[in-house]
Structure 1
Amino acid sequence: MDNTLIDPRIIGKHVYGNLYEIPEEIAGDEEYLRNVVVEAAKLANMTLLEVKSWKLGGEKGGVSVIALVLESHIAIHTWINYRYATVDVYTCGEKSDPWRAFNYIVEKLKPKEYTVNYADRTQLLKQ
């Protein structure tokens, strides 16, 4: 059986990471985080469809912002008291750049440290 993979039909690029020691005033600012996600989508050449956000209270409270883009999604989840955030940028578009969105989000959330991961989720089909 020939297992040669030839034709990329779906271009899946997934960049995600953890941000440490972000300023509490940023971690808890729902409007600021929404604006960051909207601008990140624009910079990454993604087509923004909708943005939803929630501010959660309590000891483990924070903000969640999720942007549905035509190409897939961008998500930020923060924990105010821990000064911590997770960021997830996934795109199926050949023309969009999840790295650009991720790097912009990191710049705007101002962590002292962060980790980043990349997964190539491209599906290759036989011709």
Structure 2
Amino acid sequence: MSSQLISLVNTDRIIGKHVFGNLYDIDPKILNDKDFLHNLVLEAVKIANMKLVEIKSWNFGGKKGGVSVIALVEESHIALHTWTEYNYATLDVYTCGENSNPQAAFEYIVSQLKPKRYQMFYADRSSE
């Protein structure tokens, strides 16, 4: 029985594409505009050829306040978190979809937020 399980893992492994990063020196007015950020992530879902399940956005307060936007997609998610005090955002785009393009979503969001600099990382998320 365990050899069958190993065989299934080897032939039917799930491969995910994970693009994530840090965005620095962004206009704080943009970082605190919940509606703009919500629509930005919504458009990124389309650009990446993902299928939206639900999207939520909210402001969070305190000294390190900002906005969070989470798009749940059939293939996985897009998460954007901003901190206006630091002119900073983190972006996470993960998909298991064979036809979706997380890098396109990441690059689109970066192009609209216009950070002075950013870091982008890629991880192959697979079962092997």
Q: What is the TM-score of this pair, normalised by structure 1?
A: 0.90
Distance 1:85 1:74 in 2: 13
Secondary structure of the equivalent of 1:59? coil
- Give unmatched runs, 5+ long, in structure 2: 1-5
Report whether the alignment pairs 1:67 with 2:75: no
Distance 2:11 2:119 in 1: 32
How far residue 8 of structure 1 moved from its aligned partner, in angstroms, is 5.2
Partner of 1:109: 113
Partner of 1:9: 13
Identity %: 62
Change (3 A) 1:8 1:98: farther
Kindly report the root-mean-square deviation, in angstroms, between the aligned alpha carbons of the 2 structures: 1.7
In the alignment, is the contact (CA less than 8 A) between 1:12 and 1:123 conserved in 2? Answer: no
Secondary structure of the equivalent of 2:58? strand
Q: CA-to-partner distance for each residue in 1:55-88, whole Å, 9 max, x for gaps?
A: 0122210000000000000000000010000000
How many residue pairs are counted as aligned between the two chains? Answer: 122
Which one has a larger percent helix, Structure 1 or Structure 2?
A: 2
User: Partner letter of residue 18 of structure 2?
Assistant: H
Which of 57, 79, 100 is the matching residue for 2:104?
100
Q: Any residues of structure 2 matched to 1:33-112 within 5 Å, and which?
A: 33-112=37-116
Q: What is the TM-score of this pair, normalised by structure 2?
A: 0.89
